[in-house]
Chain A
């Protein structure tokens, strides 16, 4: 009797209480014709299956495929469901997102390891893909992902803050 209850607590409790915060900075581009990057932020489980897309900053449909991993893992399957997290491309600056531990359908997911992915692709630019394994429902932790070609610092923190 005890076991299922414990499992249930692990499943549902931490997710809602401890959102995963993701801070993303988009670097200043050089020159006058710097296109804004397309950016996708999403969560995959330990089997590398998409759990939830948190944000898609985009313009034309045509270039969504250039966020190659996000398009392959999530975008091409359920673009309709993603409309809710889709918004316009962003200027260079700091942005903050959070994951409440739910899946695409809004249901809390089990505690355990997940990978937070941030992918940016820019016309006349490069593609950058960074990811971080986090422990949902684990000890509070803070991760700093170093800047890449198209992404500035990415800071991911889990647990209470």
Chain B
């Protein structure tokens, strides 16, 4: 029984959900004056390929002083969403989409163990789940996607973990990731390291090569992984976890986390 719970905890998010990622036009700016960047956001199984537009009401922009702000109006097309962002201050901004938790309940039913899923928390789905259902599990899912962009020199205020929920605790500043140099990432949940977490990193341009060139990593006891980029350009880091929770609304909490970062050429 224990082994299966451990295995469950390692599952990377929910198989059905499209990963939601953001890709900024620039990760590094050299102007003194304010400068706009533009950001694509989409939910897709591909790495930086557009599939479905996403609502961006939960995007928060943290300025270099770590003060949160909202994006303005944005464009939602058929395949992607787009917003623009003006960087006025020098230092590192964090842009994060942290969706509220969404509940869904899955179960198996019938002789063939047919898998079913309905939306709703434990209380909401009462009466909707057939009596013959087995393995009824309600998951509270949260999608987080983030990137960092730096104007002039990098700063560290936005990197400070809050100790709430699933977070990247950057060992290497995301604006200091360089081809051929080892970069470290640490993952924490409510401030505690998340060990045995599967982390995947894929460089830009999967459409234009045969090999996805993905790197698969697993966090150690400190919740850390190390990665040495081999090519410059945007990379998509994805990870996710599930863990049992003691809640009247859900049996498990799940997180999908995606970080877009740039590996700078040497």
Instruction: Identify the A interface with B (CB < 8 A).
Output: 61-65, 68-69, 71-72, 75-77, 79, 127, 129
Q: How far is the CB of B240 from chain A (nearest CB, A)?
A: 31
Q: How far is the CA of A72 from the CA of B35 in the complex (A)?
A: 19
A132 to B262, CA, bound (A): 27
Question: Residue on B with the closest CB to A61?
Answer: B31
B152 in the interface, Cβ–Cβ < 8 Å? yes
A79 contacts B178, C-beta separation under 8 Å: no
User: Which chain B residue lies CB-closest to A64?
Assistant: B30
Tell whether, in the assembled complex, residue B153 and residue A68 are in contact, meaning their CB atoms are under 8 Å apart. Answer: no
Residues of B close to A61: CB separation below 8 A: 30-33
Residue of B with least CB distance to A75: B30
Q: Does the CB pair B30–A65 fall under 8 Å?
A: yes
- Most A Cβ at <10 Å: residue of B26, B30, B150, B265: B30
Known: A76-B152, A76-B153, A77-B153. A68 touches B265 (CB 8 A): yes
Question: B176 to chain A: which residues have CB within 8 Å?
Answer: 72
Q: How large is the interface on B (under 10, 10 to 19, 20 to 34, 35 or more residues)?
A: 10 to 19
Q: Which residue of B is nearest A66, CB measured? A: B30
CB neighbours of B31 from chain A (8 A): 61-62
Q: Are the CB atoms of A76 and B178 closer together than 8 Å?
A: no
In the bound assembly, the distance between CA atoms of A18 and B50 in angstroms comes to 58
Give the CA-CA distance A122 to B61 in the complex, in Å.
32
With contact pairs A76-B154, A77-B153, A79-B152 given, residues A62 and B35 touching in the complex (Cβ less than 8 Å): yes
Whether A65 pairs with B178 at a CB distance below 8 angstroms is no
Q: What is the chain B residue whose CB lies nearest that of A67?
A: B30
Residues in B neighbouring A68, C-beta threshold 8 A: 264-265
Which B residues are CB-close (under 8 A) to A127? 265
Contacts of B266 in A (CB 8 A): 69, 129
Contact B30–A71 (Cβ < 8 Å): yes
In the complex, are the beta carbons of B265 and A76 less than 8 A apart? no
Query: Shortest distance in angstroms between B89's beta carbon and chain A's nearest beta carbon?
Result: 14
Q: What chain A residues lie within 8 Å of B153 (beta carbons)?
A: 76-77
A62 and B29 CA atoms in complex are apart in Å by: 7
- Which residues of chain A have C-beta atoms less than 8 A from B32's C-beta? 61, 79
- A75→B152 CA distance, assembly (Å): 8
Closest to A72 in B: B264
Q: Evaluate contact between B28 and A65: CB separation under 8 angstroms.
A: yes
